[in-house]
Amino acid sequence: MDGAAIPTVLVTNDDGIDAAGLRLLVQALVSTGRCRVLVCAPASDQSGVGHGITWRHALPAKPVNIDGATAFAVAGTPADCASLGVSGALFNGIIPDLVLSGINIGSNCGYHIVYSGTVAGAREAFMRGVPSIGLSYDWVASRSSTHDLKLAAESCLPIINSVLNEIRNKTFPLESFLNVDVPTDVSNHKGFKLTRQGKSMIKIGWTQTSSGVSIKGDATANMYTNDTTDTEKISSSSPAQEQRWYKRVVRVTDTNSEKEEEGNDIDYQALQEGYITVTPLGALSCSEIDTVPYFRGWLLHVIDNSCSSSL
């Protein structure tokens, strides 16, 4: 990015191009007048698809009218959209300076990050060498409103503007990307807090249903709640047909493992305390570091046993 040029920001998400979160984030960016806004987002809701990509067929990209932005709806995943958006192929050679994925309706913390299409969009851009931020709002159906979502998008502007300044100064670290979560009571948030990814996750059960009707409502928004309200009829016995249908049921959010971790800088815990959490993430797993000594000895044992059994 040239020091005198206005930066270009690409926006994607996993809730789909018509989602309120994306539209409000674009609106907030455009209102600042500090960047050129491009949008490349899924044509339909892709919540919970993780980092899946489309490999076997071409993807259609349809122009969409969004005030102040150049936008395309793509029949693909968030990772597809981020990859296409930063490639230069979609926007006539333009490579964005920053990619924003969100703002998601529902938080993305702990192990839930693995499932998140929102985080995957940011991760894909990061893997392609473009600085990126995943943005999520801890939506609670009984409390949250579109106005809260608007405030959440606006509350992220200081982070976004600061990152753009770092990019302009060539001081933004390219070894990681950021995952930002905004608390439910956004109007009374306690400020920004640097956090680490914790181990919180949703305990999922399965129940047999009478048909293959999809669960109504936004899947991501309900992931961290116990709300399992559905219009489907629950069947306690096997249906007459040979084919059976099963659906996921959210049991409870397991935060016990997170509470056992040391420090008060764990993402989900800090989010519930009212902070806007800022978590640096990467694409490489570091879990092997602590287990390398064990597996080194284990593998030698496997080799010894293999040699002995071949005699």
pLDDT, average across residues 182-187: 98
Using the predicted structure, report yes or no on whether residue 292 has a pLDDT greater than 80.
Answer: yes
Give the model's confidence band at 286: pLDDT under 50 very low, under 70 low, under 90 confident, else very high: confident
Q: Give the residue with greater pLDDT, 263 vs 237.
A: 263
Using the predicted structure, report yes or no on whether residue 231 has a pLDDT greater than 50.
Answer: no
pLDDT, average across residues 205-218: 67
Domains along the sequence of the chain with CATH: 8-195+266-281 (3.40.1210.10), 201-254 (no CATH)
Using the predicted structure, report yes or no on whether residue 17 has a pLDDT greater than 90.
Answer: yes
Distant-in-sequence, close-in-space partners of 171: CB < 8 Å, separation ≥ 6: none
Using the predicted structure, report yes or no on whether residue 291 has a pLDDT greater than 50.
Answer: yes
The pLDDT > 90 percentage for the chain reads: 70
Which of 13-17, 151-155, 214-218 shows the lowest per-residue confidence on average (mean pLDDT)? Answer: 214-218
Give the model's confidence band at 233: pLDDT under 50 very low, under 70 low, under 90 confident, else very high: very low
Position 60 scores a pLDDT of 98
CA dihedral 99, 152, 218, 283 (to 10 degrees): 40
Position 309 scores a pLDDT of 64
Mind spelling out the 3-state secondary structure of the chain?
Answer: CCCCCCCEEEEECCCCCCCHHHHHHHHHHHHHCCCEEEEEEECCCCCCCCCCCCCCCCCCEEEEEECCEEEEEECCCHHHHHHHHHHCCCCCCCCCCEEEEEEEECCCCCCHHHHCHHHHHHHHHHHCCCCEEEEEECCCCCCCCHHHHHHHHHHCHHHHHHHHHHHHCCCCCCCCEEEEEECCCHHHCCCEEECECCCCEEEEEEEEECCCCCCCCCCCCCCCCCCCCCCCCECCCCCCCCCCEEEEEEEEEECHHHHCCCCCCEHHHHHHCCCEEEEEECCCCCCHHHHHHHHHHHHHHHHHHHHHHCC
Give the model's confidence band at 79: pLDDT under 50 very low, under 70 low, under 90 confident, else very high: very high
Using the predicted structure, report yes or no on whether residue 59 has a pLDDT greater than 70.
Answer: yes
Would you call 164 exposed, middle or buried from its count of C-beta atoms within 10 A (0-12, 13-18, 19+)? buried
For 110-152, write each residue's pLDDT tens digit.
Answer: 999 999 999 999 999 999 999 999 999 999 999 999 999 999 9
